Amino acid sequence: MPFVAIHSPILGTDVEIRVDADPEAALAADAAVVAEFERLTAVFSIYDESSELSRWRRGDVDGCSSELTEVLAAAQAWHAASGGAFHPAIQQLQRRWQRAAAEDVLPDPAELAELAAACATLPFTVADGRTERIADCSGVDLNAIAKGYMVDRAALTASAVPSVDAVMINAGGDLRHLGEGSVLVGIEDPAAPFGGTAPRWRVQLARAGLSTSGGAKQGFAVAGQSYARVIDPRTGWPVTNTTSASVVAPDAMTADALSTVLRVLPPVEALALAEAEGWACLLVGADGGEKMSLTWPATDRQSTSEDEPDANRRE
């Protein structure tokens, strides 16, 4: 049986660590994972005013660490590759929908269009390993990509511990598996109630990353209607076509960003993009219907909630 530990709260969620190793090595790997998460939280947290990202957003620091530079560069690349469907700086739109929910009044479409146009371009650039702030960066939020990066780094740290054969890190729906064997992961129906529900889908994950962007039960309630928390940066409106997007990719950071991109894009475009790039994805529509890429590694194996991690994101 693998060593299993759950730490909470880390990144505002439960972090599950599974390690195949002798007891001493497993404990060392577990401690290394927690330490790595703590170190990287001090880089990427937007809730800690002293974090590197918070200070960079305010303009208190000029240069960036290699970690922050790497994730900002990845965010820039995904923004370009997705045609703006992935955007790390839409805080104004998010706050506008929060205000709409508090006032119970829908935003004016013209206002949303204006806010979307205002954030059409990124307020920073990364080139040749150097980051430059070219506009107000106070709204930069890397949560849709940094958590996957942190999971990757934590998994690599654990796998580097001598005598560790395999490791799986699950941070609230962002997973990475490294080493021998594989792990069976459950994905719940986004329309099902919280807790006590068996997964609707299962996927066998081996030496790869997995992320699910869901949250059908979370979001904005405005004027008697429920709206998803994920906002299309190009229009300013919450997404409506897809309630859940799960992605299997070579690493957790790629899966993390892609799960957001594929949820924002119309399902036909999302599937076409995934197929063209060879990514495995599972999309769940607003009607509950599912669409899978040809490479989606689904399995019919049955299991209980005790022997499989939960791939559903806590947003």
- Contact (Cβ atoms closer than 8 angstroms) between residue 188 and residue 200: yes
Q: Using one digit for the tens of pLDDT, what is the confidence trace for 47-66?
A: 999 999 999 999 998 889 99
Residue 292 token pair: 């899978």
Q: 283 pLDDT exceeds 70?
A: yes
Residue 313 lies in a domain: no
pLDDT exceeding 90 applies to what percent of the chain?
78
Axis crossing angle, helix 109-118 with helix 91-103, rounded to the nearest 10: 160
Residue with tokens 């995934």: 274
Examine residue 312 and state whether it is found in any structural domain, yes or no: no
The pLDDT value recorded for residue 173 is 87
The β-bridge relationship of strands 209-213 and 174-179 is: antiparallel
* Confidence check: pLDDT of 195 > 70: no
Q: How many separate domains does the chain show?
A: 1
- Tell whether 314 is covered by a domain: no
Cα distance between residue 156 and residue 224, in whole Å? 46
Residue 148 lies in a domain: yes
DSSP annotation of 108:
P
> Tokens standing for 243?
């309630």
Residue 58's SS3 state is helix
Evaluate whether residue 105 is within a structural domain. Answer: yes
Helix ranges (DSSP H) in the chain: 23-44, 52-58, 66-81, 91-103, 109-118, 143-159, 252-264, 267-277
Helix (H) or strand (E) holding 291: strand 290-292
Q: What is the pLDDT of residues 215-249, one digit of tens each?
A: 655 689 999 999 999 999 999 999 998 999 999 99
Residue with tokens 């009044």: 105
The structure tokens 């994805």 sit at 281
Higher pLDDT residue, 21 or 306?
21
Q: With respect to residue 121, please indicate whether it lies within any of the assigned structural domains.
A: yes
What CATH number corresponds to the domain at position 160?
A: 3.10.520.10
pLDDT at 302 over 50: no
What does the pLDDT read at residue 72? 98
Residue 76 belongs to some domain of the structure: yes
Q: At which residue do the structure tokens 């490294």 appear? A: 178
pLDDT class of 198 with cuts at 50, 70, 90? confident
Paired with 249 in beta bridges are: 209
DSSP class of residue 231? B
Domain that holds residue 18: 3-307
Cα distances from 241 to residues 86, 88, 170, 262, 277, in angstroms, run 16, 21, 27, 11, 22
Provide DSSP, 240-256.
-SEEEEEEEESSHHHHH
Is residue 158 within 8 A of residue 33, CB to CB? The reply is yes
**Mean pLDDT, residues 287-312:** 71
- Residue 54: count other Cβ atoms within 10 Å of its Cβ: 19
Is the entire prediction scored with pTM above 0.85? yes
Rounded to an integer, what distance in angstroms lies between the CA atom of residue 245 and that of residue 118?
A: 27
Question: Average pLDDT for residues 196-205, to the nearest whole number?
Answer: 86
Whether residue 181 contacts residue 19, with contact meaning beta carbons closer than 8 Å, is answered with no
How many Cβ atoms are within 10 Å of 76's Cβ, its own excluded?
A: 18
- Report the pLDDT value the prediction gives residue 192, as an integer from 0 to 100: 77
| 304, two tokens | 């209980």
Task: State how beta strands 220-222 and 225-227 pair.
Answer: antiparallel
The closest of 178, 181, 184 to 202, measured between CA atoms, is 184
Which pLDDT belongs to residue 307?
60
Q: Tell me which DSSP letter residue 139 carries.
A: T
- Residue 193 is predicted with a pLDDT of 64
Does pLDDT of 312 surpass 70? no
In a domain, 15, yes or no: yes
Could you tell me which of 157, 98, 90 has the C-alpha nearest to residue 118?
A: 90
Residue 87 has pLDDT above 70, yes or no: yes
